[in-house]
Homo-oligomer: A and B are copies of this chain.
């Protein structure tokens, strides 16, 4: 299959389940909501070495938030046990401390819930209040009052949706990946947790040489050692490969993000080949075939 002269590999992305919470952060202006969301979703690229995966889902208009202020929606992804701890810590350290922020449950209809009890921080001065139909706690703080819901819906979502952008040189592949990342920002229900939405160093599980490593470079996709790796999957003429990794609320959202991202990447001159990563079905139950979604 070809789009815009770029070959689309006949393969699929393999993805796996994850638990996800969605937090709506509002603030006096969009800038302050973004500052809080950026800090709260930092150090959260990959569950391999970070305590969770997290990212900004999108910016919300005042009309779309419970307190009618500008907002940002974030997704936090982890195992069920770690998810609660991470939402608590990230809201406590990165959002409660941010200027003018309030937080609301972004999945009010989810069947499962986690409790995120920040109100003890009020040391007895806290009280309850309804804001936009939501039951919130108000905590007196130095800037005035912090307002937050303390029950957050969680759903079983999909992690590890992905595709590879390959280019005739590094800058072409990078701009292709950037165009893909830009396009995915508009998709509802997904995040790309890596820096700028782009992965420069995809990994395989474990290591052939160093047994203490839980993950190591995916040598089959490394262009500079193409001649040294017998079963290299780097096509002829490819000098750089970037991976876009997507977590989302459901398979449909992840597939939509993959499709939009790929269609954007192939508009960039020098992008030559699109593929996706899988482990032959051993990792996860979701198989998202490139040919079906495009």
Contacts and interface: CB of A to CB of B under 8 A. Distances in A.
A170 B93 CA distance: 21
Contacts of A241: 142-143
A236 to B, nearest CB: 16
A169 B167 CA distance: 11
A240 interface: yes
A30 B179 CA distance: 7
Interface stretch (A103-111, A149-157, A197-205, A286-294): A197-205
Nearest to A86: B43
A22 interface: no
A231 interface: no
Contacts of A174: 28, 99-100, 143, 171, 175
A170 B196 contact: no
Contacts of A97: 45-46, 194-195, 199-201
Interface residues of A, number: 107
A210 B100 contact: no
Nearest to A42: B42
Contact of A169 (B94, B267, B269): B269
A68 B93 CA distance: 33
A121 B205 CA distance: 11
A128 interface: no
A120 B213 contact: yes
Given A123-B219, A267-B62, A195 B240 contact: no
Q: Within the oligomer, what is the number of copies of this chain?
A: 4
Contacts of A123: 207-210, 213, 216-217, 219
A278 B193 CA distance: 38
Contacts of A46: 93, 97
A163 interface: no
Interface string A260-290: 1001100111100000000000000000000
B170 A221 contact: no
Contacts of A124: 208-210
A244 B28 CA distance: 17
Given A183-B61, A222-B140, A89 B49 contact: yes
A125 B225 contact: yes
A144 interface: yes
A197 to B, nearest CB: 9
28 contacts: A28-B171, A28-B175, A29-B182, A31-B178, A38-B195, A40-B43, A41-B42, A43-B94, A45-B94, A46-B93, A69-B267, A94-B195, A97-B200, A99-B174, A99-B195, A121-B216, A123-B216, A125-B217, A125-B222, A125-B228, A143-B174, A143-B200, A144-B224, A144-B269, A146-B200, A168-B169, A169-B171, A174-B175
